[in-house]
Structure 1
Amino acid sequence: MTKLALYVPLEARPGKEQEVADFLRSALPLVEAEAGTVAWFAIQTGPSSFAIFDAFDDEASRDAHLSGKVAAALMGKADELFASRPQIRKLDVLASKLPS
């Protein structure tokens, strides 16, 4: 059962909006290789506002994701792409509907 999640709001530096969108799209193959990541979404909420939402069945999977390649790439590009350092918010999932 999916019971944990992460939410990471991101604000692109001025002029870096397309680079942020491209960076987020490029992360998909890395996430697809993570067996414990049940769901992963990279979204754009405004002209320069983006976010990542991902879900996990257990803490070990969430921890593996946080110490994985996507998180490392995100933090490695943070100063270049984002107006401020990404703040990773740990969430509890109360209910979900995912494909089986």
Structure 2
Amino acid sequence: MSKLALYVPLEAKPGKEMEVAEFLRSALPLVQAEAGTVSWYAIQEGPSSFAIFDTFNDEAGRAAHLNGKVAAALMARAADLFAKSPAIHKIDILTDKLPKSGG
């Protein structure tokens, strides 16, 4: 079970909603290359509200993600895309329910 996570709420600047959605979609290949990132979700919570939620088995995986290409790209585009600077919340996972692997 993954024990650690990140939650990053994002508020698009007016008129930048489609750019934010595309930016998040374009980040998937970068995240797929991260061995320590167990799961990664880019979500839209409302017309201009988005978020990233990702999980990790250990602090090393979470640290690698925070120092990786997605985080760098997010911060590089923050002033252009977001109404305020992204807040990165480090959270602990208490329990989960996941699909069973295997057949």
Q: Secondary structure at the match of 1:24?
A: helix
Question: Could you tell me which residue of structure 2 aligns to residue 73 of structure 1?
Answer: 73
Instruction: Name stretches of at least 5 consecutive residues in structure 1 with no aligned partner.
Output: none
Question: Could you tell me which residue of structure 1 aligns to residue 33 of structure 2?
Answer: 33
Deviations 1:16-36 (A, max 9, x none): 000000000000000000011
Q: Which runs of 4+ in 1 moved over 6 A?
A: none
Match of 1:81, as an amino acid? L
Deviations 1:7-64 (A, max 9, x none): 0000000000000000000000000000110010000000000000000000000000
Tell me the CA shift for residue 96 of structure 1: 1.5
Alignment TM-score, normalising by the size of structure 1: 0.97
Q: Secondary structure at the match of 1:80?
A: helix
Question: Could you tell me which residue of structure 1 aligns to residue 8 of structure 2?
Answer: 8
Tell me the CA shift for residue 97 of structure 1: 2.5
Instruction: Name stretches of at least 5 consecutive residues in structure 2 with no aligned partner.
Output: none
Question: Could you tell me which residue of structure 2 aligns to residue 62 of structure 1?
Answer: 62
Match of 2:53, as an amino acid? F
Tell me the CA shift for residue 98 of structure 1: 3.1
CA RMSD, 1 decimal:
0.8
Q: Secondary structure at the match of 2:76?
A: helix
Q: Secondary structure at the match of 2:62?
A: helix
Q: State the aligned residue count.
A: 100
Alignment TM-score, normalising by the size of structure 2: 0.94
Q: State, as a whole percentage, how many aligned pairs show the same letter.
A: 75
